[in-house]
Amino acid sequence: MLASCGLRNTDNRTKPTHENFEAYCPYCDYLNVFNRATDLNDSDSIDGEERPCGNPECQRPFALTYDSIDPTFVLLYYEAQTLLEQKRFGDAIVKLATSIEQFFTHSLFELLAWQRLAANESDYHIADVANRIAARLTQAIDGAAYQDLRNLFLHMLIGGPITTIQDAERTIGRIVRTTPSDAALGTIADPKLQSAAHRLKMLSLHEVRNRIIHHTTYRPPESEARALFQGTEDVMWTLVDKLDVRFESLGI
Ligand SMILES: [Zn+2]
């Protein structure tokens, strides 16, 4: 399932995460941890850029290679998995919830604005509409929490397949933050997509996440964490495959 969602760096000399890029110096073997916000100009991809080694006795510049091309939600998902294997179940669930929230945002922008624009890059009219849609989306998700983002995403699915920029514009005009009814989800034509939408509506990931980070400081057992991972992976990767949103077409 993982292999279907982007390429994961496997060169063992570097480790890209959402926040950091870790790289062993090729000259002295010092492990450099570059923070994207602090050390790398907040860049999402620094592939090929040179930075001096942080070892005071070396300081030789070397190229940072094999940065991830995965979108943020995939990087966060990998980090959640690592936390799960470290038996940090509460942290893993919090990270997993952030990953799926990023997936909602990523998919909304990709399907409503950037994919249509990427397919017609030279069409200035489409560029105008796509930018207008992106601005409306930015407004729609302002301050949105898990349930709001999930509902916006589900309403986009209810709006039907988006194959033209006109479809996208119609859909953005209709999406709201209210929870869609089961009957509305039942109008999604593709059976696999419809089934995934129903399972997504039932997913309790955000409720468990809230119990962990809020006043009860809930400590989830392994069985609950693994069940939540299974349920989330099942829904998220089905949607990733069906909607073809495993990469960023133009970046957000
Ligand atoms: Zn070095």
**Alpha helix locations (H) across 56-188?**
72-85, 89-109, 115-119, 124-140, 146-158, 165-174, 182-185
Q: How far apart are the first and last CA of the chain?
A: 25
For residue 71, how far is its CA from the centre of ligand 1 (angstroms)? Answer: 29
Tell me the pLDDT tens digit for each residue of 132-189: 999 999 999 999 999 999 999 999 999 988 888 888 888 988 888 999 999 999 999 9
For residue 212, how far is its CA from the centre of ligand 1 (angstroms)? Answer: 40
Single pTM value for the model: 0.85
Average pLDDT, whole number, for the chain? Answer: 88
Tell me the pLDDT tens digit for each residue of 23-66: 999 999 999 999 988 888 867 677 788 999 999 999 999 998 88
For residue 86, how far is its CA from the centre of ligand 1 (angstroms)? Answer: 29
For residue 136, how far is its CA from the centre of ligand 1 (angstroms)? Answer: 47
For residue 14, how far is its CA from the centre of ligand 1 (angstroms)? Answer: 14
Written as one letter, the residue type at 98 is T
pLDDT band at 117 (very low <50, low <70, confident <90, very high): confident
For residue 198, how far is its CA from the centre of ligand 1 (angstroms)? Answer: 52
pLDDT at 70 over 60: yes
Tell me the pLDDT tens digit for each residue of 4-25: 333 344 467 888 888 889 999 9
